[in-house]
């Protein structure tokens, strides 16, 4: 049986691959929580230190995000990794109910290497359209961390500003993109497969296909469909357009989540009138695959999704079936 630690190390080594390929100034690893599943802490420490040294040699700033450790072993792993980094930023969520309408708590910054200021802390809030705001020195001066930099997926922090459950608002969508080129998307899918094989965390690959006649009739273009898919997506979901199909990596895996997601896509089409939905739904078809042990890599998974409509049984399901 494959060693789970080997899969997790492979997942970590992909950071080096990304640094080599793109030579970024900054890299955010969101999130490191799955590495709490390491059996051999020494192997994890060696791999993590090797990755950090490689990144630092290339003058790349790095931020690693990890959830609150829930067990003593998890705490031990977090502490063993923390000793290698420049500093630790910890967001402690308020346990008491507050009358303040914004969520918040206490942020603690602990310098570790190269800083003499010592540990300091402050209250923080999560405010719409701002992100995390703090007040380290004076009440009238507020530091703001933008949507790009705050650890919005850390369990002690809550993602804000959802729009009717259909993804992020247009203003927020302009601050990030989860649409990727094929090579990047392929790397991300391979990472998710490695994560599944090591931790059992499942995911879905959902493919959307638009009949070309919809464009000819002036009902919907592929770009409009892609935009509806983007607006319905969460930040963790990844999107790629390949061979006229829009593929979406849904991190939250379940039949119910997939159905809800498809309904959210429909809600973000150019019009939500029933006349329009009835006219367009026969031109949109969907195929969803949930990862399992028979799938070894991204190439085979993506190929299966792209060619599912070419089989004798055509595995794509029309949007009409989701509205029955």
Is residue 157 over pLDDT 50?
A: no
User: How far apart are alpha carbons 241 and 247 in whole angstroms?
Assistant: 6
* Mean pLDDT calculated for residue range 144-161: 35
Tens of pLDDT, residue by residue over 217-259, are 999 999 999 999 998 988 788 999 999 999 999 987 778 889 9
Band (pLDDT 50/70/90 cuts) for residue 100 is low
Which helix (H) or strand (E) element contains residue 116? none
Between 155 and 98, residue with greater pLDDT: 98
Contact call for residues 190 and 297 (beta carbons, < 8 A): yes
CA dist 210 → 78, 162, 164, 260, 287 (Å): 46, 27, 25, 19, 12
User: How far apart are alpha carbons 226 and 317 in whole angstroms?
Assistant: 18
Residue 97: the pLDDT is: 59
Band (pLDDT 50/70/90 cuts) for residue 280 is very high
Pairing of strands 284-290, 317-318: antiparallel
| CA-wise closest residue to 11 among 192, 160, 144, 178 | 192
Write down the mean pLDDT value for the chain: 77
Q: Which CATH class is domain 182-323?
A: alpha beta
Q: What is the CA radius of gyration of the chain?
A: 22
Pairing of strands 131-134, 238-242: unpaired
All CATH 3.30.70.270 domain ranges of the chain, comma separated, are: 182-323
Q: Which two tokens stand for residue 161?
A: 């500003």
Band (pLDDT 50/70/90 cuts) for residue 136 is low
Count of beta carbons in the 10 Å neighbourhood of residue 93: 15
| CA-wise closest residue to 259 among 232, 238, 236, 282 | 232
Q: Which two tokens stand for residue 51?
A: 């990755």
Count of beta carbons in the 10 Å neighbourhood of residue 305: 21
Estimate the share of the chain in helix, then strand, then coil, as percent rounded to the nearest 5: 40, 20, 40
| CA-wise closest residue to 301 among 180, 181, 192 | 192
Is residue 303 over pLDDT 70?
A: yes
- Tracing tokens 């030579």 back to the chain, one arrives at 23
* Mean pLDDT calculated for residue range 272-301: 92
């Amino acid at each position: 049986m494959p060693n789970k630690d080997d899969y997790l190390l492979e997942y970590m080594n992909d950071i080096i691959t990304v640094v080599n390929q793109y030579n970024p100034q900054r890299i955010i690893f969101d999130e490191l929580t799955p590495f709490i599943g390491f059996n051999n802490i020494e192997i994890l420490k060696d791999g993590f230190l090797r990755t950090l040294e490689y990144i630092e040699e290339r003058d790349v700033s790095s931020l690693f995000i990890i959830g609150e450790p829930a067990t003593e072993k998890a705490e031990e792993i977090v502490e063993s990794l923390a000793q290698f980094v420049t500093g630790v930023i910890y967001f402690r969520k308020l346990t008491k109910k507050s009358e303040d309408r914004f969520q918040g708590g206490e942020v603690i910054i602990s310098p570790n290497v190269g800083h003499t200021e010592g540990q300091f802390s402050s209250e923080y809030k999560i405010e719409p359209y701002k992100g995390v705001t703090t007040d380290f020195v004076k009440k009238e001066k507020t530091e703001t961390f933008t949507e790009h930099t705050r650890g919005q997926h850390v369990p002690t922090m809550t993602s804000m500003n959802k729009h009717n459950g259909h993804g992020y608002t247009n203003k927020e969508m302009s601050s990030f993109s989860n649409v990727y080129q094929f090579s990047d998307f392929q790397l991300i899918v391979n990472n998710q497969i490695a994560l599944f094989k090591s931790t059992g965390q499942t995911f879905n690959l959902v493919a959307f296909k638009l009949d070309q006649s919809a464009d000819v009739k002036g009902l919907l273009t592929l770009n409009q469909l892609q935009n509806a898919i983007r607006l319905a997506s969460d930040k963790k979901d990844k999107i790629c357009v390949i061979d006229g199909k829009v593929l979406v990596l849904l991190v939250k895996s379940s039949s119910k989540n997939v159905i809800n997601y498809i309904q959210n896509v429909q809600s973000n089409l150019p019009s939500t009138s029933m006349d329009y939905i009835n006219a367009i739904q026969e031109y949109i078809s969907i195929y969803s695959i949930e990862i399992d042990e028979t799938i070894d890599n991204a190439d085979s998974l993506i190929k299966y999704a792209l060619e599912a409509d070419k089989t004798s049984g055509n595995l794509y399901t029309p949007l009409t079936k989701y509205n029955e």
